[in-house]
Amino acid sequence: MIFNWRYLVAIIGIAAIAAIAFSKMHMAPPPSELDLARSKPSEKGVYAVSIEPEAGEVKQGELHNWIVSVKTPDGKAVDGAKISVDGGMPQHGHGLPTAPQMTGELGEGRYRIEGVKFNMGGWWELKFAISAPQGDDHVVFNLVL
């Protein structure tokens, strides 16, 4: 069998192009018009939702908890809600590295979400699906670390 150098050069070239594209993807800044609000109406307007890290700050690479406040549009606390959590990095095409869960209802429309982790810097989305007597709705929050 004779070794063909052209195949080796082609493979090295393809690997170099892939490495450059991968590094550009990781260095791309988030969109300049990104909404970073921590309070907003849900998609259908059923709820007014706000989020805050329970410890007051978000640290990359650490597990932390979030408090999600759910109210009606006129400001009344929503009790008895079920909240599921999803999210990820839109520019990287992957989800959260953990599976956060709602672990407690704190009263006055406040809910604890445990197990959130952001393992790298960049643009993240936190998505909350809310199910309560007022109806089902969802909301997406953008975060940049």
Contacts of 18 (CB under 8 A, 6+ apart): none
Q: What is the pLDDT of residue 18?
A: 54
pLDDT of residue 114: 98
Q: What is the pLDDT of residue 87?
A: 97
- pLDDT tens for the chain, 145 residues long, are 566 667 666 666 575 565 555 554 555 788 889 999 999 999 999 999 999 999 988 889 999 999 999 999 999 999 999 999 999 999 998 999 999 999 999 999 999 999 999 999 999 999 999 999 999 999 999 999 9
Reported in sequence order, the residue ranges of the chain that DSSP labels E, i.e. its strands, are: 39-41, 48-53, 64-71, 82-89, 94-95, 101-107, 110-116, 123-132, 135-144
Q: What is the pLDDT of residue 22?
A: 57
pLDDT at residue 133 in the model: 95
pLDDT of the residue at 30? 82
Number of alpha carbons in the 13 Å side-chain half-sphere of residue 87: 24
What was the pLDDT predicted at 15?
Answer: 57
Q: What per-residue confidence (pLDDT) applies to 60?
A: 92
